[in-house]
Amino acid sequence: MIDVQRLAVLREVARHGSFNRAALALHCTPSAVSQQIAALERGLGAPAVERSTRGVTLTDAGRLLVEAADSIAAELSDTQRRIDRLAAERIALTVATFASGGRRLLPAALSGFVADHPEVELTILEAEPEESLPGVREGRADLALAYHFDGPPPARPGDRSGLDWTPLGVDPLRVVLPRVHPAAARYLDRPEPPHLAELADQRWILGCRKSAAQLAGHAELAGVELRISCTATDYDFAQSLVRAGVGIALIPEIGLTRDPELIDFPLAEPSPRRHLGLALSRRRRGPAARLAEELASRILAQAQSQAQAQPQTQTWAQVLDGERALGGTQEPAGPAR
């Protein structure tokens, strides 16, 4: 029989990469951690970690054990949360969301939900996907509005994520620059949007650190190195810097302010984008789970309604038509890079 407490110790060792750092997290000695892992390995009949002077790494058996430990910890956390709800005799619902998605998609869905369920104690957590998705899995949130970049979604049928993922749509990242910027005029007479390499001479302002990493990957594919003026954590702040002439920005579509002093346009393919979605726990059950599913359905309907009523993404031709209707761009007194 595998000891659950020893699994928890192995989980910390895997998380921190050494016995010493795991011991600090567990408030015990490195010797005690080593003894727990040794006892786990004796019971298992196979090594769980490989020890070296640089720290420890998991064996194949160790990785399987850590996956099991993650599932057990998530199950226990979710169970404790449901027991707490029973003890409090109330229905609580916690929704985690990233800021720009919450601002664009949540309010309309929540207004009807709150009106229909006044008995629900609703909590909204602002959290990025690396925090909100584990929160749903471990029972700290009932529903997460999240995103991922290009590649597989955070959960797929039959995997061990513990999550059900419902796609909401694609959120393309768009170039934002002042309407009077020379680069705006440069592309007005062209039939297609620019490639990232054509904007390599500009100073860039990024709205979050993760978009910085994504942009760096696209720049590497394009064979250029971009100059970054600022990596902010707020898209409104980033666009205010663009308005001031500090640089140009890469902003997700749902984070755009649609300022009349700014223009935004897509990049030529392959262009960076985010994929939006909703995450629910596969272990969901009870009243809170049913309410989370209802709210998820409302958010999905709201996303579909917005997409049908007013598509946010302009084609390159629409960008050009809009600028020509305004009489084109004007050259600034000096360069604004």
For residues 144-166, average pLDDT: 90
Q: What is the pLDDT of residue 85?
A: 64
Res. 210 pLDDT band, cuts 50 70 90 = confident
Q: What is the pLDDT of residue 104?
A: 87
Q: What is the pLDDT of residue 69?
A: 86
Per-residue pLDDT tens over the stretch 119-130: 899 999 999 999
The more confidently predicted of residues 332 and 282 is 282
Residues in the chain: 337
Residue 333, pLDDT > 70, answer: no
187-191's contacts with Cβ under 8 Å and 24+ in sequence apart are 187/265, 188/320, 188/323, 188/324, 188/328, 188/329, 191/316, 191/317
Nearest to 58 by CA among 70, 73, 47: 47
Count other Cβ atoms within 10 Å, centred on residue 42: 9
Residue 196, pLDDT > 90, answer: no
The more confidently predicted of residues 86 and 269 is 269
Give the percent of the chain with pLDDT over 90.
31
Cβ atoms of 288 and 85 closer than 8 Å: yes
Res. 189 pLDDT band, cuts 50 70 90 = low
For residues 203-222, average pLDDT: 78
Q: What is the pLDDT of residue 136?
A: 95
Residue found by looking up tokens 């934002």 in the block: 176
Residue 5, pLDDT > 90, answer: no
DSSP state of 207: S
Residue 335, pLDDT > 50, answer: no
The more confidently predicted of residues 278 and 212 is 278
Res. 321 pLDDT band, cuts 50 70 90 = low
Residue 212, pLDDT > 80, answer: no
Q: What is the pLDDT of residue 93?
A: 94
Count other Cβ atoms within 10 Å, centred on residue 127: 22
Q: Which residues contact 321 (CB under 8 A, 6 or more apart)?
A: none
For residues 232-247, average pLDDT: 90
d(C-alpha 37, C-alpha 2), whole Å:
11
Question: Which residue type occupies 87?
Answer: A
Residue 312, pLDDT > 50, answer: no
What are the angstrom distances between the C-alpha of 29 and each of 42, 64, 69, 194?
20, 25, 21, 58
Residue 313, pLDDT > 70, answer: no
d(C-alpha 290, C-alpha 296), whole Å:
10
Where would I find the H helices in the chain? Answer: 4-16, 19-26, 30-44, 60-88, 99-116, 129-137, 182-187, 209-222, 235-243, 286-309, 316-325
Residue 316, pLDDT > 70, answer: no
Question: Which residue type occupies 154?
Answer: P
Residue 42, pLDDT > 60, answer: yes
Q: What is the pLDDT of residue 230?
A: 87
d(C-alpha 94, C-alpha 78), whole Å:
13
The more confidently predicted of residues 162 and 83 is 162
Per-residue pLDDT tens over the stretch 251-305: 889 889 888 899 988 888 888 889 999 999 998 888 889 999 999 999 999 888 8
Cβ atoms of 111 and 159 closer than 8 Å: no
What are the angstrom distances between the C-alpha of 92 and each of 80, 133, 138, 262, 283?
14, 18, 16, 42, 17
Rounded-to-10 torsion of CA 195, 201, 203, 207: 20
d(C-alpha 48, C-alpha 63), whole Å:
8
Per-residue pLDDT tens over the stretch 7-38: 889 899 888 888 888 889 889 998 998 998 89
Over the chain, what is the mean pLDDT?
84
For residues 166-171, average pLDDT: 93
Cβ atoms of 182 and 332 closer than 8 Å: yes
Question: Which residue type occupies 222?
Answer: A
d(C-alpha 185, C-alpha 194), whole Å:
12
The more confidently predicted of residues 205 and 221 is 205
For residues 149-178, average pLDDT: 90
d(C-alpha 273, C-alpha 262), whole Å:
20
Across-strand partners of 167?
277
End-to-end CA distance of the chain: 64
Res. 324 pLDDT band, cuts 50 70 90 = very low
Across-strand partners of 126?
97
d(C-alpha 24, C-alpha 22), whole Å:
5
Res. 226 pLDDT band, cuts 50 70 90 = confident
